[in-house]
Structure 1
Amino acid sequence: MPSLPTGVGLTALCTAREREAENRRPDRLFEDRTARVLTEVIDELPRPTGLPDGCSARSRAFMRDFVALRTRFFDEELRAASQRCRQVVLLGSGLDSRSFRLDWAPGTEVYEVDRTDVLRFRHGILSMIGQEPRCRRAEVGADLRGDWPGALRAAGFNPWRSTAWGVEELLPYLSHTENNQLLRDITAMSAPGSRLVMDHFDRALQRSARFSRLTEDLYTVSAAWRSTLEIPDRWFTPHGWTFALTNPTELARRSGREIPDLFTPQAGAQGLMWLISAAR
């Protein structure tokens, strides 16, 4: 079994735990069998030096509801996009298992891009499960602050085909400059008809007292938030994307869930967490 990923890669472990917690609910918003096995294996591995209990306990109360709603949002958006875009790219895929659990349109190809240590860890666990993917899939080891477009093309990606891009739990860990470059790279490889699904948050959430402990945990594992997104249209429009925002509060209502206070914006704020779907 390969060792645990380091730094920001450790955040994927926290997300896997929260998806497994949702998986146990009778009213679950999705079913993720892989998350169950991942959590069991992770719990048996030695805890890396410096990883606080907060990654699995203190921060859980703050993120569990959002992780469940965000997962449901990305599931629905990406599955629907695959009806038109048979090429799907998951940037910063982490321990995601969508290749194995979603009903993709026939002929869909999914490219999972992340750091090599993260992919190696997940591959070791998935090989134990023996679960078969529901699409053609390729793992692409690359640093998203480097030449990941070159690595993606080398893996067989075709920039002339429309693509559905999934960028989940990634943007806050990149700087504004890195996010701008990421969007430029995505745009350069997006044929007409492409779709883009993202999440981010604004500065008000970063300053929230409710998130102070989570912020401390992230700093402990060298995975600090480095950027926020205040006005999405100023970012997307110059790149030629039209977009729509889904408020987690509205998503909670549609999903039959109690609306956590965490999702309620302060007076005058547009929102604390952004769920974004865009088209080109």
Structure 2
Amino acid sequence: MTTASGSAADVSTNGYVHGFAEGAVLLERRGPVAWVRMNMAEKRNAMSEALVQGLARAVDAVEADPAFRVMVITGSGPAFSAGGDLALFQRLVGSGTLDTFDTYLERGRAMFTRIEQFRRPVIAAVNGVTVAGGLELMLTADLVYAAESARIGDGHVKFGVMPGGGSTARLSRRLPFNVASELLLTGRLADPRELAAHGLVNAVLADDALETHVQQVAETIARHSSDGIARIKALHARARDRSLDDALATEVRALLDYARGPDLLEGLTAFVEKRAPRFR
């Protein structure tokens, strides 16, 4: 892994914390789990150019290290992320040309898509206010756990802004259409317990229990075959956009391909020998 300035950094030590984009984003190793923490609390982790760049570099580092088997994204301070940097938006939109604004939006869109399609599982640990771009980032995660104090919504309409990072594309895939519509059209922030009842949030935890619970879930996932987990994640994501027959046929082909590797046989052998499997 490299630092923001490009120099080498050793991150093999458990608990090592490494900063990107002058500390806008931190990466911490907790065993097999990568904790990626947005670290601009004074700006409520708004999606500034530095934070977007820091997230991209942190994801690069996690991807490059096979010892990381699960990635958790969270925020520092009272917010997960308050969304786009509206002061930056004002400067870009008012500059007389939209080219730079377009570049900024495309960079964010590409980052969100990359996280959504990340080979390893991604968990959002929603520690506080999550709105607009923060919601769009949350929607890229495979699992979402929220603190009791968190408040979650789209909020773009409150400032005459339209979504540009996936709210209209992803929210109704995770919520009933009319529930998603209300959040998009009113801009209100919802209690995470309400969203858990609709399935968007996996569980709501006491604020001081959130990270412990998420770490436990991540470690449970990390014990399984990383190859098997990656294949299941990809199959599950693609199944929503396929016919049932196509999804079933694809699943069987994926299983046969997986059987060519060592992990399926190791799992079956461990079962027969009544021991814990030792996956790669």
TM-score above 0.5, yes or no: no
TM-score relative to the length of structure 2: 0.26
